[in-house]
Structure 1
Amino acid sequence: MSQFKQTFNSSIGKKLIMALTGLFLCTFLIVHLAGNLQLFQNDEGYAFNVYANFLTHFPPIEVIAYILYAFIVIHALYALILTINNRKARPVQYAHQPKSPTSWGSKNMGLLGSILLLFIVIHMSDFWYKYKYTDTVGFKEYRTNVLSNERTVTDFVPESKEFEHSYTTENDVEVVRVKDLHKKVSESFSQWWYVLIYVIAQGALSFHLLHGFQSAFRTLGWTHRKYTPIVEQIGIWLFAVIIPLGFAAMPVVYFFMGK
Structure 2
Amino acid sequence: MSNFLTSSIGKKMLLSISGLFLIAFLCVHLALNLLLIVDNSGELFNIGAHFMATNPIIKIVEPILAIGFIFHIVLASILTLQNRGARPIKYDRRSQAGNCTWSSRNMYILGALVLIFLVIHLWNFWWNIKFPSLGTPLAETIVDGVKMENTYALVAGLFQSSVIYCLLYILGGIFLGLHLTHGFWSAFQSIGFSNQIWRKRLECVAKIFAFIIAAGFSIIPLYFMLGLAN
Question: Normalised by the size of structure 2, how large is the TM-score?
Answer: 0.90
User: Who is 2:36 aligned against?
Assistant: 39
User: Who is 2:182 aligned against?
Assistant: 211
**Offset at residue 133 of structure 1 (A):** 0.8
Unaligned runs of 5+ in 2: none
Relative to structure 1, is the Cα distance of residues 43 and 253 closer, same or farther in structure 2, using a 3 angstrom cutoff?
closer
Matches within 5 A, 1:177-188: 177-188=147-158
User: Who is 2:141 aligned against?
Assistant: 141
C-alpha distance in 2, partners of 1:80/1:236? 24
**Offset at residue 237 of structure 1 (A):** 0.8
Relative to structure 1, is the Cα distance of residues 82 and 221 closer, same or farther in structure 2, using a 3 angstrom cutoff?
same
Percent identity, aligned pairs only, is 34
SS of the equivalent of 2:182 reads helix
C-alpha distance in 1, partners of 2:85/2:202? 33
User: Who is 2:191 aligned against?
Assistant: 220
CA contact 1:119–1:197 (8 Å) conserved in 2: yes
Q: Which of 208, 232, 236 lines up with 2:207 in the alignment?
A: 236
Relative to structure 1, is the Cα distance of residues 22 and 193 closer, same or farther in structure 2, using a 3 angstrom cutoff?
same
**Offset at residue 230 of structure 1 (A):** 3.6
User: Who is 1:80 aligned against?
Assistant: 77
C-alpha distance in 1, partners of 2:27/2:70? 19
Relative to structure 1, is the Cα distance of residues 82 and 183 closer, same or farther in structure 2, using a 3 angstrom cutoff?
same
Give the number of the structure whose residues are more often strand, by fraction.
1
**Offset at residue 93 of structure 1 (A):** 2.6
**Offset at residue 224 of structure 1 (A):** 5.1
SS of the equivalent of 1:257 reads coil
SS of the equivalent of 2:193 reads coil
User: Who is 1:68 aligned against?
Assistant: 65
User: Who is 2:5 aligned against?
Assistant: 8
CA contact 1:137–1:179 (8 Å) conserved in 2: no
Relative to structure 1, is the Cα distance of residues 258 and 185 closer, same or farther in structure 2, using a 3 angstrom cutoff?
farther
Higher Cα Rg, which structure? 1
User: Who is 1:111 aligned against?
Assistant: 109
User: After superposition, what is the alpha-carbon deviation per residue over 1:161-180, rounded to whole angstroms, capped at 9, x for unaligned?
Assistant: xxxxxxxxxxxxx4121111
**Offset at residue 127 of structure 1 (A):** 0.8
C-alpha distance in 2, partners of 1:224/1:59? 41
Unaligned runs of 5+ in 1: 144-173
C-alpha distance in 2, partners of 1:236/1:16? 21
Name the count of aligned residue pairs. 224
218-227 or 114-123, which deviates more: 218-227
User: Who is 1:132 aligned against?
Assistant: 130
CA contact 2:129–2:138 (8 Å) conserved in 1: no
Question: Normalised by the size of structure 1, how large is the TM-score?
Answer: 0.81
* Counterpart code for 1:206: G
SS of the equivalent of 1:92 reads coil
